[in-house]
Amino acid sequence: MTSTPSPHNRSRSEEEDDPVDGMISRTGCAQLHYSLQDCMAEHQDWRKCQTEVQKFKECMTTYQKTRKEQLLKQRTSATQSA
């Protein structure tokens, strides 16, 4: 009997890009994310990584605010030209 791959096996090959990594890279916060991951891997306790958590959170908040402003400007200019 041949075994079929499990539909729950979602592992990616090394060549495949992780979509989460791609999204975080586009924010400009990737290095902070990797620092947070390193801290978590080392300490196995997010409470010991609060400095890294806060820095990553601040970076993401800044990105989200900037992105929201960009989208509002695009929407406003599209409405005015229509």
Q: So what's the pLDDT on residue 62?
A: 97
State CA 32 to chain mean position distance: 10
**Cut 0.75: pTM above it:** no
Q: So what's the pLDDT on residue 77?
A: 86
Q: So what's the pLDDT on residue 50?
A: 98
Which residues lie closer than 8 Å to 63 by C-beta, 6 or more apart? 27, 28, 29
pLDDT block averages, 10 residues each, the chain of length 82: 54 69 94 97 96 98 96 88 70
Cβ proximity of 29 and 20 under 8 Å: no
- With b for 16 or more beta-carbon neighbours within 10 A and e for fewer, the 3-37 pattern comes to eeeeeeeeeeeeeeeeeeeeebeebebbebbeebe
